[in-house]
C-alpha cells in the first residue's frame, strides 16, 4: 500500500478494497445530488390555481351576502304585511276598493279588497267574505321588488244603493 496503512485481519485483496474505499471517500468529490424542490413554473402554476380558486370563492361569498340581504328584505316586508292585515278594518267596516300607503321610506303597500264567494255556494245576507290582497313593494320604482299576501276576512255584505 502506498500510504503505509496496514489492515490487520484482512487479506491483501480485502485491505486494498478497504483502502480504495477510504481514498474514494476522502479525495474524490461526490457528484452533487439533485436537489428536491419545485421549479419556478410549478410555483407559478400553483399560485395561478390558488388565485382562480380564491376568485371563485369570493364570488360565491358575494352571492351569499346578496341572498341574505334579499331574505332580510322579504322578512321585513312580511312583518309589515302581517301588521297591516291584522289591523285592517278592525275599527271600521270592510269596504271593497283599493287603498295604498307607505310603511316607511323604503316600503310601500297597496291593498285591494274584493267580495269573495265560495264557488257554488248561495250568497248570504248576513255575512260576506272579503278577499284582502296586499302587495308590499320596496326598492326602486323602475325595478321594484314585490311580495303579495292574501287573506279572507268576514264582514257584512254591502247594501246596494236604493235598496230598502
DSSP per residue over 50-72, as a string? HHHHHHHHHHHHHHHHHHHHHHH
Spatial distance between the Cα atoms of 62 and 53, rounded to a whole number of angstroms: 14
- The model's pTM: 0.62
Nearest to 10 by CA among 94, 19, 114: 19
Give CA separation, 7 vs 12, 22, 25, 28, 34, in Å: 9, 12, 17, 22, 35
- May I ask the CATH class of domain 40-119+126-155? alpha beta
Task: Compute the residue count for the chain.
Answer: 164
Cell representation of residue 92? 271600521
pLDDT tens column, 21-75: 555 555 666 666 666 788 999 999 999 999 999 999 999 999 999 999 999 999 9
Name the pLDDT band for 136 (thresholds 50, 70, 90): very high
Exposed, middle or buried by CB within 10 Å (0-12, 13-18, 19+), for 8?
A: exposed
Give CA separation, 81 vs 72, 86, 90, 102, in Å: 14, 8, 15, 11
pLDDT of residue 101: 94
Residue ranges covered by each domain of the chain = 40-119+126-155
SS3 of residue 22 by DSSP: helix
Spatial distance between the Cα atoms of 52 and 59, rounded to a whole number of angstroms: 11
Amino acid at each position: 500500500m502506498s500510504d503505509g496503512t496496514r489492515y490487520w485481519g484482512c487479506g491483501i485483496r480485502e485491505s486494498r478494497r478497504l483502502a480504495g474505499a477510504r481514498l474514494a471517500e476522502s479525495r474524490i468529490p461526490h457528484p452533487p445530488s439533485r436537489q428536491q424542490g419545485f421549479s419556478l413554473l410549478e410555483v407559478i402554476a400553483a399560485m395561478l390555481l390558488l388565485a382562480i380558486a380564491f376568485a371563485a370563492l369570493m364570488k360565491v361569498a358575494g352571492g351569499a351576502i346578496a341572498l341574505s340581504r334579499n331574505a332580510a328584505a322579504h322578512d321585513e316586508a312580511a312583518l309589515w304585511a302581517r301588521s297591516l292585515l291584522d289591523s285592517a278594518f278592525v275599527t271600521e267596516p270592510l269596504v271593497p276598493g283599493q287603498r295604498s300607503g307607505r310603511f316607511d321610506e323604503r316600503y310601500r303597500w297597496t291593498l285591494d279588497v274584493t267580495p269573495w264567494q265560495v264557488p257554488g255556494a248561495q250568497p248570504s245576507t248576513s255575512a260576506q267574505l272579503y278577499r284582502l290582497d296586499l302587495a308590499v313593494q320596496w326598492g326602486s320604482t323602475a325595478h321594484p321588488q314585490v311580495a303579495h299576501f292574501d287573506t279572507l276576512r268576514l264582514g257584512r255584505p254591502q247594501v246596494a244603493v236604493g235598496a230598502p
